[in-house]
Amino acid sequence: LAPMRVLTDGLNMCSGRVEVLHNSTWGSVCGDHWGTEEANVVCRLLNCGEATSATGNATFGQGTGPVWVSDVRCEGSEAALDQCPAKPYGNNNCSHSQDASVTCSGPVPVRLVNGNNMCSGRVEVLHNSTWGSVCGDHWGTEEATVVCRLLNCGNGTSAIGNATFGQGTGPVWLSDVRCEGAETALDLCPAKPYGNTTCGHSQDIGVTCTGPHPMRLVDGDTMCSGRVEVFHNSVWGRVCGDDWDIADARVVCRQMSCGNAMSTGGGFSLGRGKGQTWLDKVKCSGDEKFLDQCRSQPWGHSNCVLGTDAAVVCSGPVPVRLVNGKNRCSGRVEIFHNSTWKSVCGDVWDSNAASIVCRQLMCGTILSISTLAKFGEGTGPIWSPDVRCNGTEAALDQCPTNPYRKYINCNHSRDSSVICSGPQPVRLANGDTICSGRVEIFHSSTWGSVCRDGWDTEDARVVCRQLSCGDPTLSIAPVSASQAIDQIWLMKVRCVGTENSLDQCPANPWGQHNCNHEDDVGVKCS
């Protein structure tokens, strides 16, 4: 599917000038023959409901790139715009004064204002370019759940219609909202027409959600270090480093299942992020489960002019790997402890611990375990604490242990192993579209490339199928070695073409190759 976007020149996220990505360049769509059927395809693809208008006269301004598509003729039921008949890309005599635009029915943007955290507050919706509140009549858990889910805030825990989070100052847009709770947006619930209400701001509705907002660490040396970013109102944004301390970092490390906070990172060394600053003056006690449960300025309220972005360095998880297996999700279990890879003593190994390893390595669930060196005996030290996992831990090093008891008499004949269901994640990097690029596979907590030695159409077919990208149109696409990552994981991949994932194909043991990144394989899928 050709990537498509509606630009921010519109009144909200569901209106604007239509643009498509072709040859790595965004370009507009000519408005000749542009109508409701074509606009409905765009709105549906963008999860924006149905088209309320479709214009071809640059209603939302003229584009600046090429005019890629013209004479589009959809029936209205197509899954994507590039499935509609049209002239070849760039083959037209249109100008930007004819740029096609759409306005879709929704979803209408929603936000929470004046809450105790980012997942609580007064409910406001955007209509006619103005934020307004929602009347609390007939408002209940079902309506609150729709709002919380839309904002990636979990489920609604309370819904109060007496301006608990303060009275709004704009219009009261909605009243008599009646959701079933399964709707994907608030404007899909029945309600009175916008602005048709006798409510006052003393009835403004507020909600409290379970949270948390999604969070990620960016530009760090490991997956457990980096600059802190949070996801709010469908946008990733920064956290200001003003007053950021180890108690705040502790909450982040816990929420990310990354062990203990080692330091607050030093934001300048990681650079400064771009875009919105969502959080400022964060004040955690250190015991909160999620960052959005900590006290802070209201979201988006920041005077972080010179501010260093908040950052953390967490202790873990300790790396785990599988060795000598038949594929990348089976083998002898080894854990990196005190700067050394160690096998795991079978006396402490059970299905609870094995399930954590499969999950930590993104290898699915356990199929079988062994405590008798099924995949060969290791040669290094043996990790043999009195470890007792319950199976819910995010990493093996988070299992409780008894430091006063160790299985000191273990030997390699009792090395632990596991066979997981797989598969190892695969992605395409640096391509022209989401379905083209350098093939990379995730193993031992690191992304690595694949050597083209032995690579053919059947191997590419497995990758395209695994990524739901159709069939290969080019099984060995050119890639740039300068953009490659450090690790090369696979060489001499030999798929028959029917495998469900790349790690089910025979190949050299992971990391064993004589390739360099000039040999990295790339594919293009349909």
Cα separation, 454 vs 511, whole angstroms: 16
Give per-residue burial for 136-169: e unless 16+ CB within 10 Å, then b. beebbbbbbbbbbbbbbbbebbebbbebbbeebe
Structure tokens at 167: 């009275």
Question: Does residue 515 surpass a pLDDT of 80?
Answer: yes
* Least confident range of 278-287, 361-370, 401-410: 401-410
Q: Which of 209, 233, 259 is the last residue of a domain?
A: 209
pLDDT at 265: 72
Q: What backbone phi and psi angles, to 5 degrees, belong to 407?
A: -90, 85
pLDDT at 404: 40
| Cβ-based neighbour number of residue 171 at 10 Å | 16
Sign of CA dihedral 241, 246, 247, 249: positive
Is residue 61 located within the same domain as residue 77? yes
Is residue 329 located within the same domain as residue 411? yes
Only one residue has tokens 């309506």, namely 143
User: Are the C-beta atoms of 348 and 397 separated by less than 8 Å?
Assistant: no
Return the CATH number at 499: 3.10.250.10
Structure tokens at 246: 């180890």
pLDDT at 247: 94
Is residue 445 located within the same domain as residue 506? yes
pLDDT at 204: 95
Average predicted confidence (pLDDT) for the chain: 83
Q: Which of 284, 314, 344 is the last residue of a domain?
A: 314
* Least confident range of 415-419, 467-471, 477-481: 477-481
pLDDT at 13: 56
* Least confident range of 12-21, 364-373, 470-479: 12-21
User: Are the C-beta atoms of 466 and 460 separated by less than 8 Å?
Assistant: no
pLDDT tens track for 21-71: 877 788 899 998 899 999 999 887 776 778 889 999 999 889 988 999 999
Structure tokens at 357: 């390893």
What share of the chain has pLDDT > 70, as a percent?
87
Is residue 95 located within the same domain as residue 117? no
The number of angstroms, rounded, from the C-alpha of 350 to the middle of its chain's C-alpha atoms is 32
Mean pLDDT across 446-454: 90
pLDDT at 402: 54
pLDDT at 128: 65
pLDDT at 222: 61
Per the structure, how many domains does the chain have?
5
Is residue 377 located within the same domain as residue 408? yes
| Cβ-based neighbour number of residue 183 at 10 Å | 18
Cα angle 168-169-172, degrees, rounded to a multiple of 5: 70
Q: Which pLDDT band holds residue 201 (cuts at 50, 70, 90)?
A: very high
pLDDT at 271: 55
Is residue 92 located within the same domain as residue 143? no
User: When comparing pLDDT for 128 and 277, which is higher?
Assistant: 277
Q: Which amino acid is at 279?
A: L
Question: Does residue 6 surpass a pLDDT of 80?
Answer: no
Is residue 442 located within the same domain as residue 483? yes
The boundaries of the domain holding residue 193 are 110-209
Is residue 247 located within the same domain as residue 185? no
Q: Which of 263, 283, 314 is the last residue of a domain?
A: 314
pLDDT at 269: 46
Is residue 310 located within the same domain as residue 324? no
pLDDT at 268: 40
The DSSP bridge partners found for residue 345 are 415
